[in-house]
Amino acid sequence: MPVRVSEFSWQQTPAAVFLSLPLRGVSVRDADVFCGESYLKVNFPPFLFEVFLYAPIDDGKSKAKVGNDMILFTLYKKEPVLWDSLSMPGVDKEMMQRIREKSILQAQEKAKEATEAKAVAKREDQRYALGEMMKIEEEERKKIEDMKENERKKATRELEAWKEGQKKADEQKRVQRKEKPPRRKQAEETGAQKPQGLPRKAPPAHLPARGRNWENIFSEKLKEDRVPAPRSAGRIQISFTPRVFPTALRESQVAEEEEWLHKQAEARRAMNTDLPEFLDLKEEEKNPDWLKEKGNKLFATENYLAAVDAYNLAIRLNCKIPVLYLNRAACHLKLKNLHKAIEDSSKALELLTPPVADNASARMKAHVRRGTAFCQLELYVEGLQDYEAALKIDPANTVVQNDAEKIRTIIQGTTLKSPD
């Protein structure tokens, strides 16, 4: 049975009440203080002090200072009036109990609102941090792209300069070849420098003797003999067979072959392998299955960023394979990219339709990974829904059962947590 304390002193102003309560030699850490709008209680075993206040106070602004074997309360009134007494007159046990319960409920509501406000503020901070991180990543990606573009322009300029230099060098060679005199002219110049005393040969008998003109006529004759006559014009007819398949037309099935070619063209358009960014890839790197296996090996070595790049390229080639989104969600979970993990898991669930026995394992993994991302974002209700969906697919999975039970415990503890 607690010992009620009746020794205290109080003073007041129109705006506040000052209450001094001795602790009677009890340690400060053993004192339990509760303050509501109309109810004040201090429990320091074996002593108990409680008072039902004359008028409501602002419990949010009111303060309690503990020290020197005394507790000093500063209680701010809601209405600036002087009280006739500290406690409410004419209070019976039933009214006391109602006031106590009402004060406790109000304190619980305020604590719940404070917890929810704190959780909302935390989620806003996380969203802001995620947005800032995405902005930084976008800026880094843009810088890298700008650097690549600058390098490409630089290489293009160097190549154009080299081509221009080669062109000038070729022009100089052609000019030099044109300026070089022919051998015949060199021979004429050499003949012109012969001694004057040597006798000149007489021209042939069939040519007219006109001084030096016979030499020009002879040169023109030789020139005409050396140059062949131009070819006669003609046409060459070339025809190509339109056949794609090596089999003879009489043995082939034209309709089936046309259908096969149409499907191949559709597959190439779906994979987008003719885009510029895929031209430098090897043939095996254009295969989504090969890229998926490469991503799995990188994930096994804990190189999650490289694994994400492999899955990204595979999805670019074929965006209808659900296991690519499922594996990329696992990488995002490891990298704490929780929103991206939720998006990839949801996309995998969209592709895993209709729900049949063959895709049951993949659907269960998608629910578990999305539920894990929700729980790490402290969205436990949404996470529990995904875990329960996974248990509907595989009810005998003990690991998922244990995780779901832990989530339920966290949700119940958050709901039933009492104020300090």
Packing angle between helix 380-393 and helix 360-376, nearest 10 degrees? 160
Q: Residue 340 sits in a domain of what CATH number?
A: 1.25.40.10
Is residue 56 included in any domain, yes or no?
yes
Is residue 337 included in any domain, yes or no?
yes
Q: What mean pLDDT, rounded, does the chain reach?
A: 80
Model confidence over 325-336: pLDDT tens digits?
Answer: 999 999 999 999
Confidence grade of residue 147 (pLDDT, cut at 50, 70, 90): very high
Rounded distance between C-alpha atoms, residue 13 and residue 154, angstroms: 81
Comparison of pLDDT for 154 and 256, the residue scoring more: 154
HEC sequence for 253-308? CHHHHHHHHHHHHHHHHHHCCCCHHHCCCCCHHHCHHHHHHHHHHHHHCCCHHHHH
Asked if residue 344 lies in contact with residue 366, where contact means CB atoms within 8 angstroms, the answer is: no
> Which range is most confident: 39-48, 62-71, 128-137, 329-338?
329-338
- Out of 79, 108, 140, a domain closes at 79
The answer, yes or no, to whether the previous bond of 46 is cis (omega within 30 of 0) is yes
Look at residue 211 and tell me whether its pLDDT is greater than 70: no
State the pLDDT at residue 244. Answer: 65
Summarize the confidence of residues 349-377 as an average pLDDT. Answer: 93
Residues 6+ apart with CB under 8 A from 132: none
State the pLDDT at residue 83. Answer: 85
Q: Residue 11 sits in a domain of what CATH number?
A: 2.60.40.790
Helix (H, G, I), strand (E, B) or coil at 18: strand
State the pLDDT at residue 390. Answer: 94
- Out of 46, 79, 112, a domain closes at 79
> Which range is most confident: 42-56, 222-236, 267-281, 367-381?
367-381
Summarize the confidence of residues 368-383 as an average pLDDT. Answer: 93
Asked if residue 54 lies in contact with residue 83, where contact means CB atoms within 8 angstroms, the answer is: yes
Model confidence over 268-307: pLDDT tens digits?
Answer: 665 554 445 554 556 667 788 888 999 999 999 999 999 9
Is residue 10 included in any domain, yes or no?
yes
Summarize the confidence of residues 153-163 as an average pLDDT. Answer: 91
State the pLDDT at residue 407. Answer: 92
Q: Which domain holds residue 347?
A: 320-416
CB atoms within 10 A of CB 390: 24
CB atoms within 10 A of CB 304: 19
Is residue 410 included in any domain, yes or no?
yes
Is residue 72 included in any domain, yes or no?
yes
Asked if residue 363 lies in contact with residue 349, where contact means CB atoms within 8 angstroms, the answer is: yes
Is residue 121 included in any domain, yes or no?
no
Considering its fold, how many domains does the chain have in total? 2
- Out of 79, 97, 130, a domain closes at 79
Sheet containing 16-22, strands listed edge to edge, beginning at the edge strand earlier in sequence: 9-12, 16-22, 70-76, 63-67
State the pLDDT at residue 376. Answer: 93
Is residue 296 included in any domain, yes or no?
no
Helix (H, G, I), strand (E, B) or coil at 12: strand
Q: What is the DSSP string of 36-96?
A: -SSEEEEEETTEEEEEEBSS-B-TTT-EEEEETTEEEEEEEBSS----S-SBPSS--HHHH
Residues 6+ apart with CB under 8 A from 70: 20, 21, 22, 23
Summarize the confidence of residues 110-130 as an average pLDDT. Answer: 89
State the pLDDT at residue 283. Answer: 66
Summarize the confidence of residues 14-41 as an average pLDDT. Answer: 79
CA-wise closest residue to 44 among 29, 59, 56, 54: 29
CA-wise closest residue to 62 among 23, 102, 17: 17
- pTM, two decimals, is 0.38
At residue 237's C-alpha, the angle toward residues 231 and 241, to 5°, is: 150
Confidence grade of residue 317 (pLDDT, cut at 50, 70, 90): confident
Count of H-run helices and E-run strands, the chain: 11, 8
**Could you identify the residue written with the tokens 């949801």?**
346
Is residue 117 included in any domain, yes or no?
no
> How would you class 341 by CB atoms within 10 Å of its CB: exposed for 0-12, middle for 13-18, buried for 19 or more?
buried
State the pLDDT at residue 241. Answer: 64
State the pLDDT at residue 401. Answer: 93
